[in-house]
Amino acid sequence: MPGPEHIVEMRNISKSFGGVQALKKVSFACRTGEVHTVVGQNGAGKSTLMKILAGDYSADEGEIYLEGKRVRFASPREAQALGISIIHQELNLMPELSVSANVFLGREPRHAFGFLSDSELSKRSTEVLARLGVDIDPSARLGSLSIAQQQMVEIAKALAVEARVVIMDEPSATLGTAELERLFQAIHSLKRQGVAVVYISHRLAEVFTVSDRVTVFRDGEVVDSRPVGEFERVSLVRMMIGSSTFTEQFPPRAVSPGREVVRVENLVSEPFLHGVSLSVHAGEIVGLAGLMGSGRSELARAIIGVLRCSKGVIYFNGVAVRFKSPRSAINKGIGYLPESRKEEGLVMGMSLMHNAALPSLRSRSFLGFVKRRAERITVEKTAGALAIRTPSLQQEVERLSGGNQQKVAIAKWLICEPRLLIFDEPTRGVDVKAKTEIWKLMRTLADAGAAVLMISSEIPEIIGMSDRIVVLHKGRAAGEIEAADADEEAILTLASFGESSSYDVIN
């Protein structure tokens, strides 16, 4: 029988999808008041196991025990009723409804005659949001909030269930430093209340910050499970990828960048940008750093024509341009990988091949007809170069792992052969091996003559991948640092306080 100290235990869980074995007799347990972190590469089986625990999937074989009693969930609602709540990696919210309606969706407080109690709904939502330490108006329309704020609402929605087990699948993927601290505070609060937290993350620094115990997955099996203090970073990475020789390292920096490809001068787009200037040359990677809300993503969207600019000039290949739409930017040779691959970067219901071919259809079309053979050859070649793991080019991208989805999002721009590539959080939500592959790809593109503008919340990534670093603060360029001279303190100081004389900042 399961040990009494475990609030939940899963024994010998197996699950397959279309002949692909996702889980192979996996056993997993979590104690009351414990933060148990689950790590592994994309496709290792982490999320599949947690979706079985949350009632999203049913296991092919195996048993689940909750407080020593065997249970079986036919739906997420049944699991939730027994105190198991999951926060999925992708937001599961209704953007047109209010914050409070989202927090208590399906469980709205009602008056005696069945009518909704708006005052009680607002009161309870305020209490739940206060537990997270966030200042969000419960009456605000969810779609008006930033991605980071929506993520906090998703977490509040899970907390509102008063769950005994909370599963967090990549909850920090869209959070900045301040929001991440509030998330950790909320997790510690749950621990004090005796709630078990299962935490899935690719950010290894978080693993050592928040965990009590760590379980490592690889190829649908558990490799190891022990207290976090018994792991070292290097050994953890090796367990995840199954190699004793792997090290996480960045490719060499550019030797001599070429001509200027893009220059932005005094760009203004209220209320996001208040006079930003920067340049990117062929053969170099410029890292764009800054805190959440500093204007990083907005600058990228202004360059490609999504946001309108009231002042400033954009020079592309030496010519002043003002793109009216992303299509016009694409036609001129600009590729853009957005922050949210599932909402903006990919069409999830379409195949890998159709997603990868979308932006470059015109180059393989004649009189409105697509040359399918040419399309297949082109996508097949690019998918092979990126080592995209898929049973077929016809596979729907929603069925691929996060790392492979990101590679598909990159593949469609490689086919276009752009002169400027803008990557917004290129390695968010992917495992360490996929990160390394994407880093090498970015450097290969730069070495081949492309100009790369990389936006990232990961400061080690900014330092390791960039040739130059531009730091934004409240919609302005706070300073520019040569990457070889950069350190985390210098970047964080500029990002938090603006210009500083304490560092060798190039203006």
pLDDT tens per residue, range 308-342: 999 999 999 999 998 988 888 888 889 888 877 66
**Which range has the worst mean pLDDT, 69-73, 109-113, 138-142, 189-193?**
109-113
Mean pLDDT of 411-434: 82
| Domain end among 385, 416, 447 | 416
Say yes or no to pLDDT of 504 above 50. Answer: no
Residues 33 and 138 in one domain: yes
Between CA 301 and CA 306 the distance in angstroms is: 5
What mean pLDDT, rounded, does the chain reach? 83
Residues 170, 50, single domain; the answer is: yes
Pick the range with the lowest mean pLDDT from 437-446, 470-479, 490-499: 490-499
Asked if residue 339 is part of any domain, the answer here is: no
pLDDT at 352 over 90: no
- Confirm whether 341 is domain-assigned: no
pLDDT at residue 1, rounded to an integer? 39
Q: Are residues 150 and 269 in the same domain?
A: no
The whole-angstrom separation of Cα 115 and Cα 130 is 26
Distance CA 292, CA 152 (A): 14
C-alpha span between 288 and 478 (Å, rounded):
11
Q: Which of 188, 216, 241 is the last residue of a domain?
A: 241
pLDDT band at 174 (very low <50, low <70, confident <90, very high): low
Both 47 and 132 in one domain: the answer is yes
Residue 366: pLDDT band (50, 70, 90) is: low
Instruction: Tell me whether residue 69 is exposed, middle or buried, using C-beta atoms within 10 angstroms of its C-beta: 0 to 12, 13 to 18, 19 or more.
Output: exposed
Q: What is the pLDDT of residue 363?
A: 64
Residue 246 reports pLDDT greater than 60: no
Pair 356, 300 in one domain: no
Burial label, 146 (beta-carbon count in 10 A; 0-12, 13-18, 19+): middle
Q: Is the pLDDT of residue 37 over 90?
A: yes
pLDDT at residue 110 is higher than 70: no
Return the pLDDT at 243: 57
- pLDDT bin (cut points 50, 70, 90) of residue 227 is very high
Which residue type sits at 490?
Answer: A
**pLDDT for the residue 101:** 86
């022990």: which residue's tokens? Answer: 226
Q: What is the mean pLDDT of residues 468-496?
A: 86
User: Do 271 and 365 fall within a single domain?
Assistant: no
Q: How confident is the model at residue 367 (pLDDT cuts 50, 70, 90)?
A: low
The answer to whether 138 and 125 have CB atoms below 8 angstroms apart is yes
Structural domain containing residue 12? 6-241
Q: Which of 145-149, 262-266, 273-277, 327-331 is predicted least confidently?
A: 145-149
Instruction: Note the pLDDT of residue 365.
Output: 63
The CATH number covering residue 499 comes to: 3.40.50.300
Specify the pTM.
0.59
Number of domains in the chain: 3
Which residue matches tokens 């070649």? 381
Least confident of 119-128, 190-199, 498-507: 498-507
DSSP 349: T
